[in-house]
Amino acid sequence: MCATYEALCTHGYADLTMQDIADESTKSKAALHYHYDSKHDLLCAFLEYLYEQFVERVADSDAETPHDRLLALVDVVLANSADDPEGFETALLEIRAQAPYEPGFRERLVTFETYLLGRFTDTLEAGVEDGTFDDDIDPEDTARFLVTVLTGAATERVTVGRSVECTQRMLREYVETHLLTEQGATA
Amino acid sequence: MCATYEALCTHGYADLTMQDIADESTKSKAALHYHYDSKHDLLCAFLEYLYEQFVERVADSDAETPHDRLLALVDVVLANSADDPEGFETALLEIRAQAPYEPGFRERLVTFETYLLGRFTDTLEAGVEDGTFDDDIDPEDTARFLVTVLTGAATERVTVGRSVECTQRMLREYVETHLLTEQGATA
């Protein structure tokens, strides 16, 4: 999986071959083919690996209050974009753009998005319950909105080379001025 | 340009050839090559054509107040995504994902984004000036946030097949509850 990561950073998605991945690893191309029938299968496994890593990173967070959990979730997603080299983000967007042609890719991307939406919705619901967040908000719609902003930030990093800092600032402001109750803001 | 549009809808970006575009037009492949050295040059011209179409559509809007102009701008961007077949949106995301490798693409994408940011910023500034929008907002940051949401909505349509309706609803709500002043809301 690390070799796949390195090979995607260097070669991008379109030109990637099983040989490129083998070159980054201690395995031969034949050994890779023993485990994965095709580049498609290997990349599906790679998307699952990214998903598991993400779930782990979210679970590792020691944020306790709904407010802290929401910000931590935003930061885990944005940190992904900020830490990875641009080549990797680009390869990932190329893979995302293949989703309509590759049901295996779309299935994994939907799993990832469903998980992220679920985490945001749960956190928003918990915050409405304990008075942190405004009870006027629709947790599910708001979660979807936040995910859309994060998706847009990742795309813009690739397409126009914009840093995610502005998005991070705006999202923190959005949470403070639009989601938090007075009680939540002073907690 | 129409032939390029049709060819992108049918073949996507990666597999597109000059022959595919010629097949959709009344011109021969040789005639296309007379005007455009390569697929890259033709696609750069196509991105400029999309940009001009977009600018025209924005100019055609008869919205007058800052509030109406802001919603009209959102609708023009989202209508693009809703009216085009999924194949076209997918091809466009493939082209966007090539921006880091193709300075010609990035240059046109940045021009488009700069224009959109400028329109949103101007509209927000005009609205703050006439009391429609809250003078607490930073027009430039808010414009960037809106563009990020719209970019995210376009990406999600391709990657997870989500319709833009939820984004449209959330953006209208965002404008109503977070940007409009009381005076603006009742105008």
CA distance B129 to B155: 33
A140 CB neighbours in chain B (<8 A) are none
Q: What is the pLDDT of residue B82?
A: 67
Do B184 and B132 contact (CB within 8 A), yes or no? yes
Do A115 and A107 contact (CB within 8 A), yes or no? no
Residue A114 structure tokens: 């469903």
Chain A to chain B Cβ contacts (< 8 Å): 134
B6 CA: distance to closest CA in chain A (Å): 17
In degrees rounded to 5, what are phi and psi of residue B69?
Answer: -65, -40
DSSP state letter for A156: H
CA distance B49 to A19: 40
CA distance A138 to A144: 10
Report how far Cα A87 is from the mean position of its chain's Cα atoms.
16
Average pLDDT over residues B107-122: 96
Here the ipTM equals 0.89
- The region of weakest confidence among A99-108, A164-173, B132-141 is A164-173
In terms of Cα–Cα distance, which of A69, A94, A64, A100 is closest to A158? Answer: A94
CA distance B62 to A70: 40
Q: Tell whether the model's pLDDT for residue A82 goes beyond 80.
A: no
Average pLDDT over residues A79-85: 73
pTM score: 0.91
Q: Tell whether the model's pLDDT for residue B61 goes beyond 80.
A: yes
Residue of B47, B89, B93, B142 to mutate for A, most A C-beta atoms under 10 A = B93
Length of chain A: 187
Q: What is the pLDDT of residue A81?
A: 64
Residue A29 structure tokens: 């191309």
DSSP state letter for A133: B
